[in-house]
Amino acid sequence: MKSSSSSSSKLFTIGLVAAWYSSNIGVLLLNKYLLSNYGFKYPIFLTMCHMTACSLLSYIAIAWMKMVPMQTIRSRVQFFKISALSLIFCASVVSGNVSLKYLPVSFNQAIGATTPFFTAVFAYLMTFKREAWLTYITLIPVVTGVIIASGGEPSFHLFGFIMCIGATAARALKSVVQGILLSSEGEKLNSMNLLLYMAPIAVVFLLPATLLMEDNVVGITLALARDDVKIVWYLIFNSALAYFVNLTNFLVTKHTSALTLQVLGNAKGAVAVVVSILIFKNPVSVTGMLGYSLTVFGVILYSEAKKRSK
């Protein structure tokens, strides 16, 4: 009896990881398709659609389906902290989506793999937290790999590269700031509750940015929908998938360890690269792939070094 329950829980975990991978890679590929292949050149509006879906679906999952207990915001200070996190989160998602207009997914993922480097830098600058010297040494191949990949990238675009670096840095900054801001027991929120509060605040930030920077986007989208109704389904599916990424990430974290999540995350980037090259057929050079492989190898070494220093 015990072995059947352990095998079913193992199957459940495998299913969760598969759902996390497919939703993660699905959002990335669909974003790329919409923003560069389909010609829907509105990354801020696309991010706003994602955040709107995350607001609605988070509320349904927590308030109606009771997937996790609802946690309340305790004070005005905590609200401002969540708002600051939301702003950084917006910056990372918008920059990432903008970069997908100009860069292939494979190169985008190579740059994204440098997150540990930025996390270590921000942790040191903001909390004076020093890692073991060996941990810092493992960051050398992480950065070197991206420099090599950039030199060997046939579709290199400077503005797209800057946006992607900005997105990666903002993602790392969010994780460090989150650790600082919501570290006290009374203020800790699980990731599903944090998304429930962050997503609507993100919509408030993104709405004026969309109206100011993406002129008449709603009118253009409606006109597009009249010509091709598929755009509406693409946007709805893409936005729901963006929430599903956060939901499956939370569930995988809950059912596995943080270390397993790190290892799976590293592998996910490599899977995304292979899938995107197969789908979009973007040219890749041997130098680019060597650079990316070096970065992933560096991230694995970094994870090992962090584990040993604890």
pLDDT of residue 261: 75
pLDDT of residue 160: 97
The per-residue pLDDT for range 236-246, each reduced to its tens digit, is 999 999 999 99
Sign, CA torsion 176/157/217/112? negative
The per-residue pLDDT for range 16-43, each reduced to its tens digit, is 999 999 999 999 999 999 999 898 999 9
**Structural domain range at position 128:** 30-309
Task: For the chain, list the strands marked E by DSSP.
Answer: none
Is 193 a domain residue?
A: yes
Is 124 a domain residue?
A: yes
Count of the separate structural domains present in the chain? 1
Is 14 a domain residue?
A: no
Report the candidate in 221, 187, 230, 222 with the shortest Cα–Cα distance to residue 84: 187
Is 9 a domain residue?
A: no
Is 22 a domain residue?
A: no
Is 8 a domain residue?
A: no
For residues 291-299, give the mean pLDDT. Answer: 92
Is 98 a domain residue?
A: yes
Q: Is 107 exposed, middle or buried (0-12, 13-18, 19+ CB in 10 A)?
A: buried
Highest mean pLDDT among 202-206, 276-280, 301-305: 202-206
Structure letter (DSSP) for residue 3: H
| Model pTM score | 0.90
Is 20 a domain residue?
A: no
